[in-house]
Amino acid sequence: MSYSIYPSCFICGTGKSVSLFERFGKYTIYSCVGCGLQFSEPRDYDSHSYDEAFQGDNDFSSLGYIARLSSFQTYPLYNFERFILRWLRCSVPRGSFVLDLGCGGGVMLYHLRRRGFQPLGLDVTPSSIQRLQEQGFTAAVGSIDSYPSDWPEPVAILMLEVLEHLPDPVDFIRRVATRFPRSYLIVSVPSSRRFTLWRGTREVGDYPPHHFTRWTPKALTTLFKNYGYTPRVFFPFLSPQNISGSGIGMFVFSLFRKQSGAPTTSSQKPIRLDIRLIRLKQVLFLPIAAILHLLGVRDISMVVVGTPSFLTTDND
């Protein structure tokens, strides 16, 4: 009998095999045979290792965060964001309070308000919150533990692109579920069926200390069920603006030769994303997105909707 020095999966618990997946700097990434979750050890955030991992060229500038922060009224949404707004329109009453936990620059707050909801924003970045308050949004600095006492109970809680950054995602979901057990919980994480993975390489942003976990539908649903939610996972249609000429080339290349391993370099892309160019791409690349859809490729993020237990329990 041999001892495993590998950590156990924090979704499945002990008794499930975990295998070494890859190494990236000081981080070791493990993969769970049971639920498919990939997680880093250690999962500690410090600015030094952050700088070390992402010095020089990096992919964050290409994500459009800066453009989205400064022009969120006109910046085109990703399809997973549209999907969530549609789901809310169909599932909860107009005028409902919807909390965006980790609201960032307020893209979703703006679109929630436009669609008749009453958005509430929490984020740990004071500069974003201050600007949102100036624009008339109900927003506060903090997280779920410092939820303002004079705010109402939200009907739904959004956590978009947050979970994968957290050193202890299970504890975070536990705290949300404990604080608001009657709210829908809607989480998005990078999709296991996203376009960029099909290109054969993983984005440098998908490595620690940026992302500590990589989720599968099974890992997400297990986590949600553990805290009393009835989960449903959705893979929204690929956003055409995510497709580029070089991306198509890489995709075709990947069909013949699968690349693997951590990225050593990443391409420098322009920080400024022209909104009109994105709109054009939404039209031009729509047929290609449809073809990729048939091949099983989906949007950059997948969405899990957790229905709270009181809504699924029979009244008997």
Burial class (CB in 10 A: 0-12, 13-18, 19+), 108: buried
How far is it, in rounded angstroms, from Cα 126 to Cα 101?
14
Q: d(Cα 11, Cα 259) in Å, to the nearest integer?
A: 28
We find the least distance from the C-beta atom of residue 15 to Zn ion, in angstroms, to be: 10
Shortest distance, position 213 Cβ to Zn ion, whole Å: 11
Structure token digits, residue 7: 């950590």
Of the pair 35, 160, the CB lying nearest Zn ion is at 35
Question: At 163, phi and psi to the nearest 5?
Answer: -55, -40
Q: Cβ closer to Zn ion: 33 or 291?
A: 33
CB of 32 to Zn ion, least distance (A): 3
| Torsion angles phi and psi, residue 213, rounded to 5 | -135, 150
- Total residues binding Zn ion (CB under 5 A): 7
Is residue 7 part of the contact set for Zn ion (CB under 5 A)? no
Residue 5 or 90: the one with the smaller Cβ distance to Zn ion is 5
Between vectors from CA 111 to CA 105 and to CA 117, what angle results, nearest 5°?
115
**Which is nearer to Zn ion, 13 or 25 (by Cβ)?**
13
Report CA-CA distances (Å) from 256 to 200, 205, 238, 249: 10, 25, 22, 11
CA distance 253 to 211: 26
Is residue 223 part of the contact set for Zn ion (CB under 5 A)?
A: no
Compare residues 6 and 75 and give the one whose CB is closer to Zn ion: 6
User: Shortest approach of Zn ion to residue 9 CB, angstroms?
Assistant: 3
CB of 222 to Zn ion, least distance (A): 7
Give the residue with the Cβ less far from Zn ion, 32 or 304.
32
Region near Zn ion per CB under 5 A, out of 7-15, 110-118, 135-143, 146-154: 7-15
Task: Write the binding mask 10 to 49 for Zn ion: x where contact by CB under 5 A, - elsewhere.
Answer: -xx-------------------x-xx-x------------
* Minimum distance from residue 170 beta carbon to Zn ion (Å): 11
Sheet holding 230-234, edge to edge: 138-141, 118-123, 97-101, 156-160, 184-190, 301-307, 230-234
Residues near Zn ion (CB under 5 A) = 9, 11-12, 32, 34-35, 37
